Amino acid sequence: MEYNNSEMSDSSSNSDGGSFINCEKESTLKKIAELKKKIMKLENTSMKKEKTKRKSNQELVDKESFAITNKTKGSSNQSRLKDKSFNNKSNNKSQPTLSEEDDTEFSSDEPKQPIFKKKNITYQKIPSFLHIPKSIWRGYVESMRLLVAEKLYPLCPTTEYRDMPINEINKCIDKFHKKNPSFPETVSDWAEREMIRQHINYRCKFILI
């Protein structure tokens, strides 16, 4: 009988221990589940904040780009209006007055007259005198510089413009016109010759030093 009682006490203690372990497991699992929920909430909150931040940043970028676009459009419209008013003034000045007896009609398709050179026009004033924007003028200057370096420098590397062979200068100008057909037409190609003079004399100045 003593043996049976000891076995019963052992089994009861084992069952109590097992139930305690099960309770511990359940509480641990509950805590893990709660932690997972909290982590998911935090992740969702951070994702929402990130989306809101991206949205606000995108709105700022859109506003800035819209403002820049409007500013660019406004400046381009102003420049167009200025060009238009300038063209109207120049057309009014250049348009000849017709008498009542003269019935001759001038065609709008008449070719533009070559531009004469004024006495006070220096090399630096050529772009504004010919109404060429500075960015486009730099392209023309670079194109001419390459042609001069290719055609004229090898002939007379230390010769000034006044001593250059005129036929070679004319060839250089013809090639420039083929590459840049939109360049304004000038009387006797004075603008193109000034560009060549500038390149050649500038090179000679540094070679002879």
Share of the chain above pLDDT 70, in %: 64
The 10s digit of each residue's pLDDT in 18-56 is 676 777 778 888 888 888 888 888 887 878 777 777 777
**pLDDT tens digits for range 97-139:** 433 333 333 334 556 788 998 888 899 999 999 999 999 999 9
Neighbours of 168 (CB within 10 A): 14
Overall residue count recorded for the chain in this entry: 209
**pLDDT at res. 202:** 84
Q: Is it the case that residue 193 has pLDDT exceeding 60?
A: yes
Q: Average pLDDT, stretch 63-92? A: 62
Between 71 and 31, where is the model more confident? 31
Residue with the bigger pLDDT between 182 and 89: it is 182
How many angstroms separate the Cα of 77 from the Cα of each of 66, 73, 80?
16, 6, 5
Which pLDDT score is estimated for 146? 94
Q: Exposure of 171 by Cβ count < 10 A (0-12 exposed, 13-18 middle, 19+ buried)?
A: middle
Facing residues of 115 across strands? Answer: 186
Residue 21 is predicted with a pLDDT of 75
Mean pLDDT of 5-15: 54
Range in 70-84, 136-150, 152-166 the model is least confident about: 70-84
